[in-house]
Amino acid sequence: MAKYIKSHLIIAHIRKASRGKVTLRNTHPFQRELFGKSWVFAHNGTVFERPELRNFTLSHYFPIGTTDSELAFCYILNKLKDKGYDLTFEQTLNLIIDSINAIDVGAFGFNFLMSDSQNLYVYRGKRGPTLHYIHLSNENSDKLIIVSTKKLKKIGVNKEWIRMRRGQFLTIKEGLIIKDLNLR
């Protein structure tokens, strides 16, 4: 199917549901509009244990389903929306990092992929499952980065998958890593 898709950024979340009721409204990735951009979020792990995440007051974005993943996404978007429309890239990044630090304390896995339609934000939680990425190029010399929980054997046979460090936060734009931060 990927042969027929043309986009500068794609998020697919292929998983077996481990928590929550299996319904369409609980299906990743989640999508919302913020500041005229489509934001998309997919998560792997469990964050329900965070009391402030269960009890914080939502002002702009609300979960449609019942997953902790969508709740975490709404939490991040609310933090961004509360600060206003004209955020710089650095301000946006700092608010996302502040949200990560509030959520990923005691969570069992807060790996996520999130996009604002231009940038891909990738975070490997301080606990829980691994994340890997690989740099590839296609026949048109487009730069590609693929992120996966497991090393995909049929992709990048002659390339090396890079295991992300715990607390590593990447910002990827047009197939290039533009920020590589350690949040540990």
Average pLDDT, the chain: 84
Share of the chain above pLDDT 90, in %: 41
Q: What pLDDT was estimated at residue 163? A: 96
Please say if the pLDDT value at position 88 is more than 90: yes
Asked if residue 184 has pLDDT above 60, the reply is: yes
Angle (CA) 20 167 133, round 5°:
85
- pLDDT in the model for residue 156: 66
Is there a contact between 160 and 132 (Cβ–Cβ < 8 Å)?
no
Q: DSSP for 153-183?
A: TTS-TTS--EEPPTTEEEEEETTEEEEEEE-
5-46: per-residue pLDDT in tens?
666 666 666 666 665 667 777 777 889 999 999 999 998 888
pLDDT given for residue 183 in this prediction: 94
Q: Are 113 and 151 in contact (CB under 8 A)?
A: no
pLDDT in tens, 134-180: 988 766 667 888 898 888 887 766 778 999 999 999 999 988 999 99
Domains in the chain with CATH codes:
27-128+166-182 (3.60.20.10)
pLDDT at 19: 59
Q: Over pLDDT 70: what percentage of the chain?
A: 79
pLDDT at 3: 60
Pick 1 or 47 by higher pLDDT.
47
